[in-house]
Amino acid sequence: MRVLFILLAVLLVTAVVTLLALNNPGYVMLGYGKTSLEMPLIDFLVILAGAFLAFYFLVRFLTLMRKTPKKLRGLREKKQINKSRKGLTHGLIEMAEGNWAKAEKQLVSSAKTGDTAMLNYLAAAHSAERQNASDRRDEYLRLASETSPDARVAVGLTQAELQIRQKQYEEALASLQQLEEIAPKHPQVQKQLAKLLYQLQDWDRLYEMLPGLNKNQIITTEEFNKIQKDVATGLIEQTGQTGDAAGLDELWKNLPKSAKQEAEIIAAYTRQLIRVGGSERAEPLLRKSLNHQWDDRLAAVYGLLQLNNPKPALKQTEKWLHDHSDSADLLMAAARFSAQAKLWGQARSLYQESLNLKPQPRTYAFMGELLETMGEAEAARTAYQTGLKLVTQG
């Protein structure tokens, strides 16, 4: 378009000058030393215009020749990029259809010619992992990292995810811990690490992470509450199994107030207190919790107490039975305290009521113990066998 305008301008100027020259002809004389050249003005103007156009088109031609290799290179690169992106798209389609081998081949071949190499290699790693080809998977992850050094976190997260899928938990933990050093506050790194620690039941490490997970809103409130509950119960059971009564008390003391109000956590703590001989300390906590809000899980733990004087606990269970007569766990607890108080007949009757409501292996075991104490060996054997049958049936 610009060339057209220039040509029109030259033609217009030439026409104007020609008209002027026809009306007022003149001449031009050029001299150099003793040599001179004389010509009509109109001829000179035509030659000058022609020289100008020739010079202009020569400059344009040289400029075009200089830019041609760059343009050709750009067109070639654009073609390669389009081919690479098309290959990535086809590879992802193959993955979606479950054609892992085809997807891997397509993704790897198109990774070498475009600007999506990292994405190609990450997707290829997924495809290789689906074929249980760990060596190829790791090689693609290495290539993805080399292709895009700034994407170490993305590559590392993918690596950890694939290792977890293959149940390579120790390797995944090492990958995530390395990422934590690179990006200690990265939300996805923290979330993935918490998820893995939960699977490994590494309650101590996960307990340290809880404040950060909650403060930075890395997981939902519902997820946090579940993890906090499971971490607390896991640590309580872990500590109780070692017989560390002091450690158990210290752990309970340091738990958040909200956690101490959870029936599941209270049940876990009091169960372990009973294990380490702390029934007398567990009883008030269980009684207070049950009076505040009834929960059959706590009633079941209440029945496990080994008290020096079982009669107050028996009276308490009888009082609760006025409002919770349909609780098999409470009936079992009342039966146990009756047995501890040597009220054999009452204990047997309460055990039977509990079993009528809800047959449980534990209740049959307690019934068997009672029947043995009462000298009814055959009935005790039947109770034990029935309870064992319930266990084997799941």
pLDDT in tens, 308-343: 999 999 999 999 999 999 999 999 999 999 999 999
**CATH topology match: 83-147 vs 307-394:** yes
φ and ψ at 334, to 5 degrees?
-60, -40
What region, left, alpha or beta, does residue 241 occupy, with left being phi > 0 and alpha being psi -120 to 50 degrees?
Answer: alpha
Which H helix or E strand runs over 28?
Answer: strand 27-32
- At the topology level, CATH places domain 83-147 in 1.25.40
Tell me: pLDDT of 84 over 80: no
Domain boundaries, the chain: 83-147, 307-394
Asked whether the predicted pLDDT for residue 35 surpasses 90, the reply is no
Token reading at 265: 């956590």
State percent of the chain over pLDDT 70: 78
User: pTM for the full model?
Assistant: 0.70
**Which range scores top for mean pLDDT: 2-6, 21-25, 222-226?**
222-226
What pLDDT, on the 0 to 100 scale, is given for residue 18? 62
Q: How confident is the model at residue 68 (pLDDT cuts 50, 70, 90)?
A: low
How far is residue 59's CA from residue 54's CA, in Å, rounded to a whole number?
Answer: 9
316 vs 80, residue with greater confidence: 316
In the numeric block, the tokens 């404040």 are attached to 211
Token couple for 385:
């066998």
CATH architecture of 307-394: Alpha Horseshoe (1.25)
Contact 338, 346 (CB under 8 A): yes
Joined tokens for residue 250 = 């210290």
Reading phi first (left if > 0) and then psi (alpha if -120 to 50, else beta), residue 244 is in beta
Per-residue pLDDT of 244-292, as tens digits, reads 889 999 999 999 898 999 999 999 999 999 999 999 999 999 999 999 9
User: What are residue 35's phi and psi, to 5 degrees?
Assistant: -100, 135
